[in-house]
Amino acid sequence: METRTALVTGAAQGLGREFAVALGGHGYRVAGLDLLPQPETAARVPEYLELTGDVGDERVVEEAVERVAGRFGGLHVVVNNAGVYPAGPFEETTAEEWRRVMRINLEAPFLVARAALPYLKAAGWGRIVNIASAAVLTAPPTMVPYVASKMGLIGLTRSLAAALAPYGVTVNAIAPSMVRTATAERTVGGAGGFEAVRDRQAVRRTQEAGDLVSTLLYVVDEGSGFLTGQTLNVSGGSAYL
Protein backbone atom coordinates (compact mmCIF):
# COMPACT_ATOMS: atom_id res chain seq x y z
CA MET A 1 0.00 0.00 0.00
CA GLU A 2 1.29 3.43 -0.91
CA THR A 3 1.87 5.87 1.91
CA ARG A 4 -1.45 7.48 2.61
CA THR A 5 -2.39 10.81 4.18
CA ALA A 6 -5.03 11.40 6.84
CA LEU A 7 -6.62 14.60 8.13
CA VAL A 8 -8.01 14.54 11.68
CA THR A 9 -10.05 17.42 13.04
CA GLY A 10 -9.92 18.19 16.75
CA ALA A 11 -6.47 16.59 16.95
CA ALA A 12 -5.00 18.69 19.75
CA GLN A 13 -6.22 16.44 22.56
CA GLY A 14 -8.49 13.61 23.61
CA LEU A 15 -9.92 11.28 21.02
CA GLY A 16 -8.55 13.26 18.08
CA ARG A 17 -5.02 12.99 19.40
CA GLU A 18 -5.34 9.24 19.90
CA PHE A 19 -6.66 8.86 16.36
CA ALA A 20 -3.81 10.91 14.90
CA VAL A 21 -1.20 8.96 16.85
CA ALA A 22 -2.74 5.62 15.86
CA LEU A 23 -2.80 6.53 12.18
CA GLY A 24 0.77 7.78 12.36
CA GLY A 25 1.78 4.52 14.01
CA HIS A 26 0.30 2.64 11.08
CA GLY A 27 2.34 4.52 8.52
CA TYR A 28 0.04 7.40 7.65
CA ARG A 29 1.20 10.92 7.16
CA VAL A 30 -1.14 12.91 9.38
CA ALA A 31 -2.44 16.46 9.44
CA GLY A 32 -4.43 17.83 12.36
CA LEU A 33 -6.82 20.78 12.29
CA ASP A 34 -7.78 22.29 15.61
CA LEU A 35 -8.40 25.67 17.23
CA LEU A 36 -5.63 24.82 19.67
CA PRO A 37 -1.90 24.23 19.06
CA GLN A 38 -0.98 20.56 18.84
CA PRO A 39 2.60 20.13 20.13
CA GLU A 40 1.86 16.91 22.04
CA THR A 41 0.21 15.32 19.03
CA ALA A 42 2.98 16.42 16.69
CA ALA A 43 5.61 14.98 19.03
CA ARG A 44 4.01 11.53 18.77
CA VAL A 45 3.44 11.36 15.00
CA PRO A 46 6.47 10.89 12.69
CA GLU A 47 5.09 12.93 9.75
CA TYR A 48 2.69 15.52 11.09
CA LEU A 49 1.32 18.79 9.75
CA GLU A 50 -0.20 21.06 12.36
CA LEU A 51 -3.04 23.28 11.14
CA THR A 52 -4.63 25.79 13.49
CA GLY A 53 -8.05 27.23 12.77
CA ASP A 54 -11.81 27.00 13.13
CA VAL A 55 -13.12 23.81 11.53
CA GLY A 56 -16.48 25.51 11.12
CA ASP A 57 -15.04 28.27 8.92
CA GLU A 58 -15.37 27.46 5.22
CA ARG A 59 -12.30 29.41 4.15
CA VAL A 60 -10.14 27.92 6.90
CA VAL A 61 -11.18 24.39 5.95
CA GLU A 62 -10.54 24.86 2.24
CA GLU A 63 -7.11 26.38 2.86
CA ALA A 64 -6.24 23.64 5.36
CA VAL A 65 -7.12 20.85 2.93
CA GLU A 66 -5.11 22.56 0.18
CA ARG A 67 -2.10 22.73 2.51
CA VAL A 68 -2.40 19.05 3.38
CA ALA A 69 -2.54 18.02 -0.27
CA GLY A 70 0.29 20.38 -1.14
CA ARG A 71 2.53 19.11 1.65
CA PHE A 72 1.88 15.39 1.24
CA GLY A 73 0.84 15.15 -2.39
CA GLY A 74 -2.72 14.06 -1.77
CA LEU A 75 -5.33 13.09 0.78
CA HIS A 76 -6.92 9.71 1.46
CA VAL A 77 -8.55 9.62 4.90
CA VAL A 78 -10.68 12.22 6.68
CA VAL A 79 -11.66 11.84 10.33
CA ASN A 80 -14.32 14.35 11.37
CA ASN A 81 -13.73 14.25 15.11
CA ALA A 82 -14.03 17.87 16.28
CA GLY A 83 -17.17 18.49 18.28
CA VAL A 84 -18.83 20.32 21.16
CA TYR A 85 -21.33 18.93 23.65
CA PRO A 86 -22.80 21.49 26.03
CA ALA A 87 -25.32 20.17 28.53
CA GLY A 88 -28.28 21.98 30.07
CA PRO A 89 -32.06 22.23 30.14
CA PHE A 90 -33.59 22.54 26.68
CA GLU A 91 -35.64 25.60 27.64
CA GLU A 92 -32.41 27.43 28.48
CA THR A 93 -30.81 26.68 25.11
CA THR A 94 -30.35 29.87 23.12
CA ALA A 95 -30.57 30.05 19.35
CA GLU A 96 -26.93 31.11 19.30
CA GLU A 97 -25.89 28.01 21.26
CA TRP A 98 -27.99 25.78 18.99
CA ARG A 99 -26.32 27.22 15.90
CA ARG A 100 -22.85 26.80 17.42
CA VAL A 101 -23.44 23.12 18.10
CA MET A 102 -24.80 22.55 14.60
CA ARG A 103 -21.95 24.49 13.00
CA ILE A 104 -19.20 22.45 14.67
CA ASN A 105 -20.86 19.04 14.89
CA LEU A 106 -22.69 18.93 11.56
CA GLU A 107 -21.72 21.74 9.22
CA ALA A 108 -17.98 21.31 9.79
CA PRO A 109 -17.97 17.64 8.65
CA PHE A 110 -19.86 18.75 5.54
CA LEU A 111 -17.26 21.45 4.85
CA VAL A 112 -14.31 19.12 5.40
CA ALA A 113 -15.76 16.31 3.29
CA ARG A 114 -16.61 18.70 0.47
CA ALA A 115 -13.15 20.25 0.47
CA ALA A 116 -11.46 16.84 0.59
CA LEU A 117 -13.55 15.22 -2.13
CA PRO A 118 -11.53 16.34 -5.18
CA TYR A 119 -8.40 14.80 -3.66
CA LEU A 120 -10.17 11.59 -2.63
CA LYS A 121 -11.58 11.22 -6.15
CA ALA A 122 -8.17 11.88 -7.66
CA ALA A 123 -6.68 9.15 -5.49
CA GLY A 124 -9.43 6.71 -6.49
CA TRP A 125 -9.55 5.53 -2.89
CA GLY A 126 -10.72 7.19 0.27
CA ARG A 127 -12.23 6.90 3.73
CA ILE A 128 -14.39 9.47 5.50
CA VAL A 129 -15.03 8.69 9.16
CA ASN A 130 -17.50 10.78 11.15
CA ILE A 131 -17.51 10.60 14.94
CA ALA A 132 -21.15 10.43 15.97
CA SER A 133 -22.41 9.39 19.41
CA ALA A 134 -24.41 6.67 21.11
CA ALA A 135 -26.36 9.56 22.62
CA VAL A 136 -28.54 9.48 19.51
CA LEU A 137 -29.97 6.22 20.91
CA THR A 138 -29.93 6.97 24.65
CA ALA A 139 -31.18 10.55 24.07
CA PRO A 140 -30.10 12.34 27.27
CA PRO A 141 -32.66 15.11 27.91
CA THR A 142 -30.01 17.67 28.83
CA MET A 143 -28.20 17.40 25.45
CA VAL A 144 -30.92 18.10 22.89
CA PRO A 145 -28.79 20.18 20.46
CA TYR A 146 -25.94 17.65 20.65
CA VAL A 147 -28.21 14.66 20.00
CA ALA A 148 -29.87 16.45 17.08
CA SER A 149 -26.51 17.35 15.55
CA LYS A 150 -25.17 13.81 15.83
CA MET A 151 -28.33 12.31 14.38
CA GLY A 152 -27.89 14.71 11.47
CA LEU A 153 -24.31 13.52 11.13
CA ILE A 154 -25.51 9.93 10.83
CA GLY A 155 -27.87 11.03 8.07
CA LEU A 156 -25.01 12.80 6.32
CA THR A 157 -22.93 9.63 6.62
CA ARG A 158 -25.55 7.41 5.02
CA SER A 159 -26.39 9.74 2.16
CA LEU A 160 -22.77 10.67 1.43
CA ALA A 161 -21.82 7.00 1.37
CA ALA A 162 -24.23 6.44 -1.51
CA ALA A 163 -23.00 9.55 -3.32
CA LEU A 164 -19.30 8.69 -3.08
CA ALA A 165 -19.35 4.92 -3.58
CA PRO A 166 -18.70 5.23 -7.35
CA TYR A 167 -15.38 6.89 -6.58
CA GLY A 168 -14.03 4.20 -4.26
CA VAL A 169 -14.68 6.35 -1.19
CA THR A 170 -16.42 4.88 1.83
CA VAL A 171 -18.20 6.94 4.49
CA ASN A 172 -18.89 5.53 7.94
CA ALA A 173 -19.57 6.79 11.45
CA ILE A 174 -18.34 5.63 14.84
CA ALA A 175 -20.68 6.20 17.79
CA PRO A 176 -18.87 6.09 21.15
CA SER A 177 -20.27 6.40 24.63
CA MET A 178 -19.02 9.24 26.83
CA VAL A 179 -15.24 9.16 26.41
CA ARG A 180 -13.01 10.32 29.23
CA THR A 181 -11.24 13.36 27.81
CA ALA A 182 -10.12 16.67 29.26
CA THR A 183 -13.10 18.41 27.66
CA ALA A 184 -15.57 15.87 29.02
CA GLU A 185 -14.01 16.12 32.47
CA ARG A 186 -14.45 19.88 32.36
CA THR A 187 -17.98 20.02 30.97
CA VAL A 188 -19.85 17.04 32.42
CA GLY A 189 -17.46 15.06 34.59
CA GLY A 190 -17.94 17.09 37.73
CA ALA A 191 -21.71 16.65 37.59
CA GLY A 192 -21.51 12.88 37.78
CA GLY A 193 -21.86 12.47 34.02
CA PHE A 194 -19.34 9.64 33.71
CA GLU A 195 -21.01 7.63 36.47
CA ALA A 196 -24.49 8.12 35.02
CA VAL A 197 -23.39 6.88 31.60
CA ARG A 198 -21.31 4.03 33.00
CA ASP A 199 -24.23 2.72 35.03
CA ARG A 200 -26.32 2.37 31.85
CA GLN A 201 -23.68 0.34 30.04
CA ALA A 202 -23.26 -3.41 29.89
CA VAL A 203 -19.50 -2.80 30.20
CA ARG A 204 -19.34 -1.05 33.56
CA ARG A 205 -16.40 1.28 33.13
CA THR A 206 -15.84 4.68 31.60
CA GLN A 207 -14.80 4.60 27.98
CA GLU A 208 -11.25 5.74 27.22
CA ALA A 209 -9.99 7.20 23.94
CA GLY A 210 -7.98 4.07 23.26
CA ASP A 211 -11.18 2.01 23.16
CA LEU A 212 -12.03 3.57 19.77
CA VAL A 213 -8.68 3.16 18.03
CA SER A 214 -9.15 -0.41 16.79
CA THR A 215 -12.52 0.52 15.31
CA LEU A 216 -11.05 3.48 13.45
CA LEU A 217 -8.24 1.36 12.04
CA TYR A 218 -10.76 -1.26 10.91
CA VAL A 219 -12.93 1.33 9.14
CA VAL A 220 -10.01 2.92 7.26
CA ASP A 221 -8.33 -0.39 6.42
CA GLU A 222 -7.63 -1.27 2.80
CA GLY A 223 -9.78 -4.36 3.21
CA SER A 224 -12.85 -2.48 4.46
CA GLY A 225 -14.01 -1.26 1.09
CA PHE A 226 -17.34 -3.07 1.35
CA LEU A 227 -18.22 -1.29 4.60
CA THR A 228 -19.99 2.00 3.95
CA GLY A 229 -22.94 4.02 5.18
CA GLN A 230 -22.73 2.35 8.58
CA THR A 231 -22.69 3.64 12.16
CA LEU A 232 -20.60 1.41 14.42
CA ASN A 233 -21.92 1.62 17.95
CA VAL A 234 -18.90 1.30 20.27
CA SER A 235 -20.48 2.26 23.57
CA GLY A 236 -20.13 -0.60 26.00
CA GLY A 237 -23.65 -1.78 25.25
CA SER A 238 -25.32 1.42 26.45
CA ALA A 239 -27.77 1.53 23.57
CA TYR A 240 -29.22 -1.86 24.48
CA LEU A 241 -30.18 -1.25 28.12
> What is the pTM (predicted TM-score) of this model?
0.92
- Residues with catalytic roles: 146
Question: In the structure, what pLDDT confidence band is assigned to residue 198 with cuts at 50, 70 and 90?
Answer: confident
The model's pLDDT over 110-134, given as tens digits with 9 standing for 90+, comes to 999 999 999 999 999 999 999 999 8
CA atoms within 13 A on the CB side of 203: 13
Question: In the structure, what pLDDT confidence band is assigned to residue 190 with cuts at 50, 70 and 90?
Answer: low
CATH numeric code, 5-234: 3.40.50.720
What are the residue boundaries of the structural domains of the chain, listed by start? 5-234
Query: DSSP of 11-47, one letter per residue?
Result: TTSHHHHHHHHHHHHTT-EEEEEESS--HHHHHH-SS
**Mean of the pLDDT values across residues 166-174?**
98
What pLDDT shows up at residue 211? 87
Nearest to 120 by CA among 86, 163, 82: 163
Nearest to 107 by CA among 57, 32, 154, 171: 57
